[in-house]
Chains A and B, each alone.
Chain A
Amino acid sequence: MNREPTLTRAPETTAPARRRSPMAAVLLTETRLFLREPGSLFWILAFPTVLLVILGFIPTFKEADDNLGGRRVIDLYVPVSVLLAMIMAGLQAMPPVLSAYRERGILRRMSTTPVRPSALLTAQITLHGAAALGSALLVVAVGRVGYGVALPGQLAGYALALLLSVAAVLTLGATICALSRTTKAATAVGSVAYLAMMFTAGVWVPVQAMPDTLRRIVQLTPFGAASQALDQAASGHWPSWAYLGVVALWTVLLGLVAGRLFRWQ
């Protein structure tokens, strides 16, 4: 620690030019950090596809079933695995990260710089959304190549349903963070929401195979509706606006709640 005049204000001309925008720097850094979490990467990117592959080993799942309108169980599990990827990203992986950023004073530290701490949250939400979409594409590709599951017939409708579903799960994750005081609480609440969402998305019983009353209720939940919309688009129809509307409404509501209740410190 020798004395050098480095702590004095550097002349403007020798100050290094700003190489990238603050937001780009935050996104780059958070991407690196995201890639250093093997657990999250496995559960978001690999697990949904692994589940689909394992289910494909069950012979009866690959036979047409009259109760399902002549489709195979494996056909239904592609949209389910797609939703699973989103739930893993938004409810399992993201809430503890965001809460820890608050709990450990990382957001507060950033509040004392010219960059708002919301940049950090935006980057994390973007990354988890991107990972969920990437995982969804992997599931669809493996379903097509491995088990001959038809690619979505209504591609634009499928993309719209997919984006809305990701938005819904991310705002739900953000709401969990806003409501939880600690990282521990966020993880616990996230797990409960995760199980509920897995059920409504049809991970255990496909929504189409649920009893009528239950199915009507489930279709009003964000993932029940998303699952139906994805299924319709997959089988070549434009997804029903009712389902898309339910998902969009949940997204807006949860977004408002999260934005209003989030505490920065």
Chain B
Amino acid sequence: MAIIEVNGVRKTYAGRDVVDGVSFSVDQGEIFGILGPNGAGKTTTVECVEGLRTPDAGTVRVAGLDPIADHDRVTQLLGAQLQESELQAKLTVREALELYTAFYPAPADWRPLADRLGLADRLTTRFAQLSGGQKQRLFIALALIGNPKVVVLDELTTGLDPRARRDTWQLIEEIRDGGVTVLLVTHLMEEAQRLCDRIAVIDRGKVVALDTPAGLIRRSTGSTVVSFVPSRTPTGPELDRLAALPGVASVTPPDPAGVLVLHATDDTVTPLISLLAELGVTARRLRITETSLDEAFLDLTGQDA
């Protein structure tokens, strides 16, 4: 069942379409990723979901409600962690939790929440004194304090060290296991690949792909990369025969180090080995690897690494 529905949303600033007809729907209990390069319109899109911005065209529904017209009811169902937002510098963790508890009609108990998020020993620390990771964990706690059905997390792990980032990923999985739907904005492939059930790739204000992480990788051209050092340099016609193998997207002739690269699929590998045997070429240092989501993403957004 879809809990978030975004339909043909458009948002224009100074004559530029920042969001240009974005549509997707998020099922209940999903971790749904919005992935895209900086400035692609990811944040503007989720701000429309959070009710912080009014779309110029299109509709947004959260549990069937309009985030602008039904602002009060949507804010009770949706918890948000915003990119680059702070709290009052001298507010302590405990005061922040108590304050936000008072905002909601049926709040969660903040004490176990603080325990879970590793904030129990920071309750008397002022916001300005918290580390980056602690601030983010506090924002997760505040996003969850109203017992929401949906949380929106925007660039949650930006600026965290790898350790804190992995801890945060685990937390997000726990949030979902608790029955909360997660809408996750990120520009990190590893994060999207690790966490998301489905991903909408947004580029220049448009959804360019919407699939599972594995699906995105599969659909990108040449998802399997085969590389080897041939025992002798193949001739032109031989390279053509390589390119004609099933599933081959591209053949890169040997570089100065002698490495030949094929972007292909799993189906290419067996015929390739037969062909090499037929040609009397030995494949040294043969490597067969899967394209990462990184490469799939660059492929989809037409960006250079």
Flag whether B80 is at the interface (Cβ < 8 A). Answer: yes
Q: Are B99 and A8 in contact (CB under 8 A)?
A: no
Q: Nearest-CB distance from B207 to chain A (Å)?
A: 24
Interface bits B136-154 vs A (CB < 8 Å: 1, else 0): 0000001010110100000
Q: Are B100 and A12 in contact (CB under 8 A)?
A: no
Flag whether A21 is at the interface (Cβ < 8 A). Answer: yes
A32 to B99, CA, bound (A): 12
Known: A5-B178, A112-B52. A105 touches B82 (CB 8 A): yes
Contacting residues, chain A, for B91 (C-beta < 8 A) = 29, 33
Q: Are B102 and A105 in contact (CB under 8 A)?
A: no
Instruction: With CB as the reference atom, state the residue of chain A lying closest to B80.
Output: A112
Contacting residues, chain B, for A115 (C-beta < 8 A) = 103
Interface bits B167-210 vs A (CB < 8 Å: 1, else 0): 10011001101111000000000000000000000000000000
Flag whether A69 is at the interface (Cβ < 8 A). Answer: no
Q: Are B118 and A1 in contact (CB under 8 A)?
A: yes
Q: Are A1 and B112 in contact (CB under 8 A)?
A: no
A4 to B175, CA, bound (A): 10
Contacting residues, chain A, for B116 (C-beta < 8 A) = 1-2, 4, 6-7
Flag whether B87 is at the interface (Cβ < 8 A). Answer: yes
Flag whether B235 is at the interface (Cβ < 8 A). Answer: no
Q: Are B144 and A111 in contact (CB under 8 A)?
A: no
Report, as a range, how many residues of chain B touch the other chain: 35 or more
Q: Among the listed A19, A106, A111, which residue makes an inter-chain contact with B88, where contact means beta carbons less than 8 Å apart?
A: A106
Q: Are A109 and B82 in contact (CB under 8 A)?
A: yes
A37 to B149, CA, bound (A): 38
Q: Are B178 and A7 in contact (CB under 8 A)?
A: yes
Flag whether B106 is at the interface (Cβ < 8 A). Answer: yes
Known: A1-B118, A3-B174, A32-B95. A16 touches B101 (CB 8 A): yes
Q: Nearest-CB distance from B157 to chain A (Å)?
A: 16
User: How many residue pairs at the A-B interface have CB separations less than 8 Å?
Assistant: 117
Residue with the highest number of chain A CB atoms closer than 10 Å, among B51, B142, B149, B178: B178
Contacting residues, chain A, for B104 (C-beta < 8 A) = 113-114
Flag whether B107 is at the interface (Cβ < 8 A). Answer: yes
Q: Are A114 and B72 in contact (CB under 8 A)?
A: yes
A72 to B51, CA, bound (A): 60
Flag whether A214 is at the interface (Cβ < 8 A). Answer: no
Contacting residues, chain A, for B131 (C-beta < 8 A) = none
A107 to B278, CA, bound (A): 71
Q: Are B85 and A7 in contact (CB under 8 A)?
A: no
Instruction: With CB as the reference atom, state the residue of chain B lying closest to A113.
Output: B103
Q: Are A114 and B76 in contact (CB under 8 A)?
A: yes
* A-B pairs, 8 with minimum CB distance: A7-B178, A105-B85, A25-B102, A112-B80, A104-B86, A6-B112, A109-B85, A113-B103
A/B interface sample: 24 pairs, CB < 8 A: A1-B118, A1-B167, A3-B177, A5-B178, A7-B108, A7-B116, A8-B178, A8-B179, A9-B149, A10-B108, A10-B147, A22-B103, A24-B102, A26-B102, A37-B90, A105-B82, A105-B85, A106-B86, A109-B85, A112-B75, A112-B82, A114-B103, A115-B103, A265-B52
7 extra interchain contacts, Cβ-Cβ under 8 A, other than A7-B174, A105-B86?
A: A4-B112, A6-B108, A6-B178, A20-B102, A22-B103, A106-B86, A109-B85
